[in-house]
Amino acid sequence: MKIKIDVNLTPEEARAFFGLPDVGPLQEEMLAKIQEKMLAGVEGYDPLSVMQPFLPKNLQTMEAMQKAFWQAATGADTGKKKT
Q: Is 37 exposed, middle or buried (0-12, 13-18, 19+ CB in 10 A)?
A: middle
With cut-offs at 50, 70 and 90, classify the pLDDT of residue 2.
Answer: very high
Comparison of pLDDT for 29 and 82, the residue scoring more? 29
Q: How confident is the model over 5-32, as a mean pLDDT?
A: 89
pLDDT at 61: 72
**CA distance readout (Å), 39 to 25, 44, 48, 56, 73:** 21, 11, 16, 27, 31
- The predicted model scores a pTM of 0.37
